[in-house]
Amino acid sequence: MTAAPPQATITGPQAGQTGMLASMPKFDTGLPVIGVINFQEPMEWVFWGALAANFIFVKGTSKWIIAAGIIAARYEFGKHL
């Protein structure tokens, strides 16, 4: 009986990387409430996507009220990370 040939191993991303998000940018806006925008975090995509959708689809003054709510929610969420 002969030994089976070694099988290839599939390795994940390198230590500390999370696939495609690992190569995304991270930059400081200098604004007190916004702070650092880190596109390596999935929740950043949710908040900024919601903000973009708000500006595209909502009309009137409610657009600005919703935008303020989204930015406030991002700020509060960021304090708990």
Whole-number pLDDT of residue 62: 96
Question: What is the pTM (predicted TM-score) of this model?
Answer: 0.67
Domain ranges of the chain: 23-79
Lowest-confidence segment of 6-10, 22-26, 42-46, 67-71 by average pLDDT: 6-10
The single-letter code of the amino acid at 28 is D
Residue 30 to residue 49: CA distance in whole angstroms: 21
């908040």: which residue's tokens?
47
What does the DSSP 8-state code read for residue 44?
A: H
Q: Sign of the CA dihedral 38, 29, 74, 54?
A: negative
Contacts 24+ apart (CB under 8 A), 53-60: none
Per-residue pLDDT at 26: 87
In the chain, the DSSP E strands lie at 26-28, 36-38
| 19-63: pLDDT as tens digits | 777 888 888 888 888 888 888 888 899 999 999 999 999 999 999
